[in-house]
Amino acid sequence: MEKKRIYFDHAATTPVRREALEKMLPYFSEVFGNANSQHMFGRDAVKAVDEARDTVARIINAKPSEIYFTSGGTESDNWALRGTAHARRDKGRHLIVSSIEHPAMIATAKQLEKDGFDVTYLPVDETGTVSPESVRNAIRDDTVFIGVMTANNEVGTIQPVKEIAAIAKEKKITMFTDAVQAAGVLKLDVKELGVDMMSFSGHKFYGPKGVGVLYVKSGVKIDPVMTGGHQERMKRGGTTNVPAIVGMAEAFRLADEEREKNAAYVTALRDRFIAGVEARIPDVKLNGHRVNRLPANADFSFRYIEGESILFHLDLAGIAVSSGSACSSGSLEPSHVLLAMGVPEETAHGSIRFTFGTDNTAEEVDYAVDVLAETVKKLRAMSPLFKQFEGEKQYV
């Protein structure tokens, strides 16, 4: 029998879809020009990048001149935060980010603290939601930046970005949202959301890795991320990655076109999975918001056992998932997101993220529920914690 290979880790990355790959291919070979060159080879490259920029801008309701191509979500997040902090340092040195941001934001904020900036890390409630009121309370006279992600990558909770952006606007503070998990999945309209900056990344919506976007509203101050040539209107030097940009734009265009259909498909898989797990396995908790969550995300804590052990057993059975505690690869620190949500440390250690994609099927979901139920039973039978606390209700 052929070994199963089931991929339930679409929040980590996705395969490049065929149409995007095909669109990219000529730009590795025949159309290889440097987009900065003054001759016909350069012009062909520029034309492709211009088209990609128009496509991305149209989908998020921005102007093409507000779209900056980067090397991915991490660079865009770094740039938004550091570029704003430095550009606006005369106005103030206080930055606000949520405590559940991606490490690309948290680690950048920590570094800026060492450079003399003040950072407030906003709390979240037990569903992983940032309240607009907590943002309002954190604002000081010298606040120059607010960063709250559109949707969380671990637990899938969708944030009230529009409400928070309205507060930022009223106080003339730059509002950024990391939309890496939301792009291609939720409708994103930068005008409607009222944000000044937004990041996303090609490989999270079936585009290539190593390419992303930072949207910067015209007139919003930001320092360059990379000094060098004149690329990206003097904000990001470096020879333009034409094939990756072309592939990302095509994947984004198709994701936008198919958005409702794909969301309905993965939501059905996710709900089938959640129902199966909750019916078959006692003492589990769905992390994140039950309703305001990404269509593809189901993040569970399985009490009394280690996420790593579950992951290992699922991997043996041909099922690829992610454990919250493995996020900072190799480290056994529990997820900062779950801890911020008030999940006890022991429970946080037993958490697994399942993220579904358009390439998954209901049969795969059913198989995973079976394997998971068996695995959890087996691991609990060996767990001293389980013998001690079984049945105690710690989740009320």
Ligand X SMILES: *Cc1c(COP(=O)(O)O)cnc(C)c1O
Residues with catalytic annotation?
327
Residues between 200 and 219 that touch ligand X (CB under 6 A): 201, 203-204, 212
Q: Does 154 bind ligand X (CB under 6 A)?
A: no
Q: Which ranges of the chain would DSSP assign to H, the alpha helix?
A: 18-24, 40-60, 73-87, 103-114, 132-138, 161-170, 190-193, 231-234, 242-257, 259-280, 307-316, 336-340, 345-349, 362-381, 384-389
Q: What is the DSSP string of 59-80?
A: HHT--GGGEEEES-HHHHHHHH
**77 lines the binding site for ligand X (CB under 6 A):** yes
Residue with tokens 């057993």: 313
Kindly list the distances between the CA atom of residue 328 and the CA atoms of 102, 107, 210, 333, in Å, as whole numbers in the listed order: 11, 12, 19, 8
Residue 248's φ and ψ, nearest 5 degrees, are: -65, -45
**Does position 181 bind ligand X by CB under 6 A?**
yes
Asked if residue 243 binds ligand X (CB under 6 A), the reply is no
Stretch that binds ligand X, among 73-81, 226-234, 309-317, 388-396 (CB under 6 A): 73-81
Residue 132 binds ligand X (CB under 6 A): no
104 binds ligand X (CB under 6 A): yes
Least gap, CB of 306 to ligand X (angstroms): 24
- Cα–Cα distances in Å, from 342 out to 107, 134, 300, 346, 395? 21, 16, 14, 11, 11
By CB under 6 A, tell whether 153 contacts ligand X: yes
Among 8, 33, 73, 183, binds ligand X (CB under 6 A): 73
Question: What's the min distance (Å) between Cβ of 73 and ligand X?
Answer: 2
Count of residues that interact with ligand X, criterion CB under 6 A = 15
Report the distance separating Cα 129 and Cα 125, nearest Å.
Answer: 6
| Cα–Cα distance, 299 to 256 (Å, whole number) | 25
Q: Which of 14, 23, 45, 74 binds ligand X (CB under 6 A)?
A: 74
Smallest gap from residue 113 Cβ to ligand X (A): 20
CB of residue 116 vs ligand X: minimum separation in angstroms?
25
Residues in the site for ligand X, rule: CB under 6 A? 72-74, 77, 102, 104, 149, 153, 178, 180-181, 201, 203-204, 212
